[in-house]
Amino acid sequence: MNTNVAPNAVAAVSEARQWDRLMELATLGAITGADGAPGVNRQALTALDRQARRLLIGWGAAAGLKASVDVLGNLFLRHEGTEAGLAPVVSGSHMDSQPAGGRFDGIWGVVAALEAVQALREAGVATRRPIEIVAWTNEEGSRFAPGCMGSMAYAGYRPPETWDDVADAEGIRFGDALREHLAEETDIPHRGLGVVEGPRPHAYVEAHIEQGPILEAEGIDIGIVTGIQGSRWFLVELTGASAHAGTAPVSTRRDAVQDMVRAINALNALMADPTDVLRFTVASIEVKPNSSNSVAETVKFTIDFRHPDAAVLRERGDAIEATIKGAVKTCEVKLTERFNADPVTFAPQVTEAVARAAAAQGLSAKRIPSGAFHDAQFMVPLCPSGMIFVPSRDGISHNPAEYSSPEQLARGARVLAQVLAELANS
Ligand code: GLV
Ligand code: MN
Ligand code: MN
């Protein structure tokens, strides 16, 4: 590999261009959070999502990159390599956001990949392998649960029709939203679905904001991500009976809210962890009929459970159903597992490339695990995979107050450019 390659490309990364693109994308779904923080609500497979994708495709086309889209709506921009037939290096993240999300989660990884590849091209750097920039469909899982649908389908982890019947809050089916979405993008060339219909990538690298407090607290520029903890998502449905709040004796009720409280208390005991490593979250609750003077007939609530140790994830996750059934008094219980992502360890081919690039650029770096899940989790079985983190102010994410500075993001893109140059020439 030509040792001049990376420095040229690194120098061509534009802090201003990357920031301006992020700010333009942040206008699509702009919301205002507490204290006026400028956030984003851009849900997967919506018109806003499509507008954001069109912006990206336009920037890519101007840089000479060809767009294509697969059956799950995963969007790719391709930089050609010099040697025909070699597997691509893939880099990107997601463009959808949380409902009260920030301007950087996911979208920065896509914009950073474009910035890095554009810098390589502007520096006149050719790579042996192609590089594909990817925007995965529905990573967040907030409109349609679970997250990471695009990467799971690409990896062959689940068939693409798996989630067709998943409905959003308006009752729109994922399969219908996807069909409508693809119909709006018929001018973009279609491609086969990931490793189900094509070759394994040579490597996968995802740049992302840390979403936690470590890098900022320690004054570190770059996180060399060592792996991702495992996650399991469940939907709990409790069914009782509605009754008049003024006339029905409490002893006769089948009150779904009261059983939900019992269930959550029991789950808190199951998930208790003195080491504070385990993550257990109930954050979405739907009550029907949702009227203050009618006893609740049904409750649906979500469970997000995470741990770095696969055994803990398996044992406590598998105990959830019995714990809920043992805790409720009167309701019927239905438990559905909606997401199951094993803990993963990233490959030294990528972690060491990130470490080398950060060192070569005089940046401080630290090895840290990811508490958030990412599409990278599903690339691990396919090819050497890894991630690059940059600091998040106050460790805040999934919140409009999420912030990383133009300079911090530019450092991340420069490291990514060097890593992509190295991997695409290996
Ligand atoms: C991803 O958004 C996650 O919830 O970890
Ligand atoms: Mn993300
Ligand atoms: Mn997220």
Q: Of all residues in the chain, what percent carry a pLDDT higher than 90?
A: 98
Question: Using a 6 Å CB cutoff, which residues line ligand 1?
Answer: 140, 147, 372-373
Q: Which ligand is nearest to the CA of 399?
A: 3
Mean pLDDT across the chain, nearest whole number?
97
Between CA 240 and CA 255 the distance in angstroms is 6
Could you read off the pLDDT of 248-275 as tens digits, one per residue?
A: 999 999 999 999 999 999 999 999 999 9
> To test the ligand 1 pocket, which listed residue (95, 96, 107, 140) has its Cβ within 8 A of the most ligand atoms?
140
| 373 CA → ligand 2 middle, Å | 7
Q: What is the mean pLDDT of residues 114-121?
A: 98
Q: Which ligand is nearest to the CA of 283?
A: 1
Q: Which of 221, 207, 212 is nearest to 364 (CA)?
A: 221
Could you read off the pLDDT of 126-139 as tens digits, one per residue?
A: 999 999 999 999 99
Could you read off the pLDDT of 355-383 as tens digits, one per residue?
A: 999 999 999 999 999 999 999 999 999 99
pLDDT at res. 3: 44
| 136 CA → ligand 3 middle, Å | 12
- The yes-or-no verdict on residue 289 having pLDDT over 60 is yes
Q: Which of 334, 422, 339 is nearest to 386 (CA)?
A: 422
Q: Which of 335, 224, 228 is nearest to 279 (CA)?
A: 228
Residue with CA closest to ligand 1 atom 5: 372
- The yes-or-no verdict on residue 330 having pLDDT over 60 is yes
Residue with CA closest to ligand 1 atom 2: 140
| 208 CA → ligand 3 middle, Å | 10
Q: What is the mean pLDDT of residues 80-101?
A: 98
> To test the ligand 1 pocket, which listed residue (108, 373, 375, 377) has its Cβ within 8 A of the most ligand atoms?
373
| 137 CA → ligand 2 middle, Å | 12
| 307 CA → ligand 2 middle, Å | 18
| 241 CA → ligand 1 middle, Å | 34
Q: Which of 68, 59, 183 is nearest to 113 (CA)?
A: 59
Could you read off the pLDDT of 185-231 as tens digits, one per residue?
A: 999 999 999 999 999 999 999 999 999 999 999 999 999 999 999 99
How would residue 282 be classed by pLDDT, with cut points 50, 70 and 90? very high
| 373 CA → ligand 1 middle, Å | 5
Q: Which ligand is nearest to the CA of 106?
A: 2
- The yes-or-no verdict on residue 5 having pLDDT over 70 is no
pTM of the model: 0.97
**Do 375 and 93 meet the contact criterion of CB atoms below 8 Å apart?**
yes
Helix (H, G, I), strand (E, B) or coil at 34: helix
pLDDT at res. 7: 84
How would residue 1 be classed by pLDDT, with cut points 50, 70 and 90? very low
pLDDT at res. 145: 97
Helix (H, G, I), strand (E, B) or coil at 55: helix
> To test the ligand 1 pocket, which listed residue (95, 107, 340, 374) has its Cβ within 8 A of the most ligand atoms?
374
Could you read off the pLDDT of 44-73 as tens digits, one per residue?
A: 999 999 999 999 999 999 999 999 999 999
